[in-house]
Amino acid sequence: MKILTGNDLKTGAVTWWDGAEWSLHVEQAVDVGDNADTILAREQAARRVNAAYAIEAVKDADGVRPAHIKDRIRALGPTVRPDLTLKPADPNAGEWVI
Amino acid sequence: MYKYDTYDQAMVDARVEEFRDQVRRRLEGHITEDQFKPLRLMNGLYLQLHAYMLRVAVPYGTLNSAQMRMLGDIADKYDRGYGHFTTRQNIQYNWIKLEDAPDILADLATVEMHAIQTSGNCIRNTTSDQYAGAAADEVIDPRPYAELIRQWSTFHPEFTYLPRKFKMAVIASDIDRAAMRLHDIGIQIVRNEGGQIGAAFYVGGGMGRTPMIAPCINPFVPIDQMITYSEACLRVYNRYGRRDNKYKARIKILVHELGKEEYTRQVEAEFAHLLTQNIEPPLAELARIQAMFADPPFEVGIADEVDRSDPDFALWVDTNCLAHKQPGYIAATISLKPVGGIPGDATGEQIRLMGDLARQFSFDELRVTHAQNIVLPHVRKADLYALWQQLDAAGLGTANLDLVGDIIACPGLDYCSLANARSIPVAQKISQRLARSEQAIGELKLKISGCINACGHHHAGHIGILGVDKKGVENYQLLLGGCEGADTSLGQITGPGFSEDGIVDAVEKATQVYLNNKQGTERFLDTYRRIGMAPFKEAIYE
């Protein structure tokens, strides 16, 4: 599947296109098929996202997983600071990242 | 240390307001990201893996207590409670909001700090010896010369859009503690046989994907012509440096392709022309700057001994302290490399504490080192134990300067959008694995980069590690034999790369080869240079 990611313009936070808006959670990312360029142009022009791009991902029973390690680390947070990730209370949250 | 005059302060204040307006226009949609990006980069604001990252300049690594406290406050107020000291003597914050950036710069300006020259194709923040003004072996304090270069290079209209970024370092001792020959221009302040002060120019060094050691193109430029000669070096580069290929745009490529002799000939011709233009700052300006770097009021006739009855303290003194030019004083390095910690990271609380300790024990002065540590340059030996006790209680008392645990590591793939592999976890594992044996191993400079850009200085490590992307999986190449001192050398790759755990094993095996072959007082590097790569390779790939 192809999903979209970028950063929030004001905060810089990593966001994912969920079909209607930009979410902090990669689990909510949706397959954009062939519409990536259209959505990216529209959303960036409206300043709802910054520096956005399309990536390959897979979806299985555990959720949406970006294909490349760089985007998996973006999805959760730095592997060396679990306290600063999106799920600091879950010790297993990062198992799928590396 | 240097104090802003009204011009300095007005320039920095104006820059803050200019950037505030640029941010407002970006947030309101009056300018696009393509238009805004070069503007934010000129103010040290990058967009990194998880958020905006702000890099704050620490000119030649020198700070006072109020500045250090401000850096700690910014970590707590605008970031997530910590900062990362870098290999260019700066500090970075990893979780900055764009809307906060102008306020941060305004806060910095209140303590004479900024983020200018921390990005872009300009002359970057000039680095220097972290022991400048304290070291017993220096010819003269190099910082006034670095400050003169700062003033000359800041907003220099001719050098704002160079072919690529440009890094300068200034030292004033034969022992190079600033990796001077691995800079675009390295300057060593020297004294000739006649007792005159001059500058030896080394041009065309650098790390990155094409590491090169800078050759000396002029061993003695009179000190009152240093800026003019620098301008000549830059002019030739600006004129002929490649702009068609960013990977071949650094001055090292130009010097290499022209050859040292031809590049030098062109510089000398430009220098002769510039001498007729009288562009050198007046010596009175250098004297004004030098007056601000006068020695602090050292006490004389004080005790020159350290009470070593506490063995942990004695170990720290032996490992982390350097002889001072003034009897009764010592330069103390605060390691930001606790066992298993993140190299270069410090919490807001720790940063403020170091600032307070500088005020209490070191004439209000601190230095950031390119090895990602902090130095209190002027500590009375009689105060050293009290200082160490406070450091140790705050997790800042690790005794590992220049040992294998004192690892330089770039942020790597945990934070950096350019990285191909993580650096920090590798540093943490090596630090933990070798913690018990590091004193026995002795001096061993280990440096890790998460990509070929070499921010972690892997080419210059006695042991270097380069993280690469191998079909989507992190892989680590091992290098041996690099060195950044007066005997600068570039590390050589041992062979095929390793997994994350495999590289830790390989490093441990390399240290065992060293211990098994060490003669006398040889360091790891000495043994490597004597016995060569083969025994290491045999052990590592057995």
Q: Average of pLDDT values for B381-410?
A: 98
Which residues of B are less than 8 Å from A7 in CB distance?
47, 51
pLDDT of residue A89 exceeding 90: no
Domain check: are B238 and B283 in the same one?
yes
Per-residue confidence (pLDDT) for residue B254, from 0 to 100: 98
Q: What single-letter DSSP state applies at residue A49?
A: S
Integer Cα distance of B436 and B339 in angstroms? 10
The CATH number of whichever domain residue B362 belongs to comes to 3.30.70.3340
Q: Which pLDDT does position A95 carry in this prediction? A: 84
What's the pLDDT tens digit per position in B15-62? 999 999 999 999 999 999 999 999 999 999 999 999 999 999 999 999
Beta strands in B335-421 (DSSP E): 345-347, 365-368, 374-380, 408-409
For the residues B229-237, what does the mean pLDDT come to? 98
Mutate to test the interface with B, among A5, A9, A65, A86 (most CBs of B within 10 A): A9
Q: What is the mean pLDDT of chain A?
A: 94
Q: What is the pTM of this model?
A: 0.97
Q: Does A14 contact B at CB distance below 8 Å? A: yes
pLDDT interval class at B274 (50, 70, 90): very high
Contact B467, B412 (CB under 8 A): yes
Residue B17 sits at φ, ψ, to 5 deg, of: -70, -35
Q: Is the pLDDT of residue B309 over 90?
A: yes
Which CATH number fits the domain that encloses residue B524? 3.30.413.10
Percent of chain B whose predicted confidence (pLDDT) is above 70: 100
How confident is the prediction for chain B on average, in pLDDT? 97
Q: Flag if B428 and A9 touch (Cβ within 8 Å).
A: no
Q: Are residues B351 and B494 in the same domain?
A: no
Q: Is residue A36 part of a domain?
A: yes
Tens-digit pLDDT profile for residues B154-199: 999 999 999 999 999 999 999 999 999 999 999 999 999 999 999 9
User: Is B76 in the same domain as B220?
Assistant: no
Q: Does residue B486 carry a pLDDT above 90?
A: no
A12 contact residues in B (CB cutoff 8 A): 47, 50-52, 95-98
Are B197 and B344 contained in the same domain? no
CA distances from B515 to A37, B265, B522, B537, B540 (A): 58, 47, 10, 15, 14
Instruction: Report percent pLDDT > 90 for chain B.
Output: 99
**Structural domain includes residue A96:** no
| SS3 category, B535 | helix
pLDDT value at A38 more than 90 = yes
pLDDT at A94: 79
Domain count for chain A, please give it: 1
Q: What DSSP string describes B224-242?
A: GGHHHHHHHHHHHHHHHS-
pLDDT tier, A62 (very low <50, low <70, confident <90, very high otherwise): confident
Whether the per-residue pLDDT at B210 is higher than 90: the answer is yes
Q: Does residue A54 fall inside a structural domain?
A: yes
Please provide the DSSP assignment of B260-302 as one string: HHHHHHHHHHHHHHHHTTT-SPPHHHHHHHHHHTPPP---SS-
B151 and B48 housed in the same domain: no
Q: A38 and A78 in contact (C-beta within 8 Å)?
A: no
Banded pLDDT at A98 (limits 50, 70, 90): confident
Whether B413 sits inside 8 A of A11 (CB atoms) is no
Contact indicator for B361, B376 with CB cutoff of 8 Å: yes
Across residues B470-497, what is the average pLDDT? 95
On whether residue B124 sits in a domain, the answer given is no
* Cα–Cα distance, B233 to B496 (Å, whole number): 39
The residue length of chain B stands at 542
Which residues constitute the domain of residue A24?
2-84
Residue B296 located in a structural domain: no
CATH number of domain containing B101:
3.90.480.20
Domain identity same for B317 and B341: yes
Beta bridge partners of A64: A59
List pLDDT tens digits, range B339-375: 999 999 999 999 999 999 999 999 999 999 999 999 9
Residue B109 to residue B8: CA distance in whole angstroms? 10
ipTM score: 0.96
DSSP3 helix / strand / coil % (chain A, rounded to 5): 25, 30, 50
pLDDT at A87: 87
Same domain, B251 and B352: no
Residue at A27 is within a domain = yes
Give residue A91's pLDDT band: very low, low, confident or very high (50, 70, 90). Answer: confident
Q: In this structure, are B31 and B88 located in the same domain?
A: yes
pLDDT of residue A60: 87
Question: Is pLDDT at A92 greater than 90 in this prediction?
Answer: no
The verdict on B43 and B151 lying in the same domain is no
Q: Is the pLDDT of residue A40 over 90?
A: yes
For residues B484-497, average pLDDT: 94
B63 within a domain of the structure (yes/no):
yes
Residue of chain B nearest A7, judged by CA positions: B51
What are the DSSP calls for B397-447, one per residue? ----TTSTTS-EE--GGGT-TT-SS-SHHHHHHHHHHTTTTHHHH----EE
> What sign does the dihedral A67-A70-A71-A73 (CA atoms) show?
positive
Interchain proximity B422–A79, CB inside 8 Å: yes
The span from the CA of B166 to the CA of B404, in Å, is 30
Collect all residues with Cβ–Cβ distance below 8 Å to A25 and sequence separation of at least 6. A16, A86
Residue B305 lies in a domain: no
Tokens linked to B475: 């892989």
Are the beta carbons of B465 and B451 closer than 8 angstroms? no
Together in a domain, B513 and B436? yes
Contacts of B60 (CB under 8 A, 6+ apart): B89, B125, B126, B127, B128, B132, B142, B143, B146, B147, B150, B170
Q: End-to-end distance of chain B based on CA atoms, in angstroms?
A: 54
Closest CA to B328 of B370, B296, B357, B359: B296
B497 and B386 together in one domain: no
- Statement to judge: residues B14 and B79 lie in one domain: yes
Residue B485: its pLDDT value, please? 83
Could you tell me if residue A90 is inside a domain?
A: no
Number of domains in chain B: 4
Whether B19 is in a domain gets the answer: yes
Residue-number span of the structural domain to which B155 is assigned: 134-290
Q: Is residue B297 part of a domain?
A: no
- Cβ of B27 within 8 Å of Cβ of A47? The answer is yes
pLDDT at B342 (0 to 100): 98
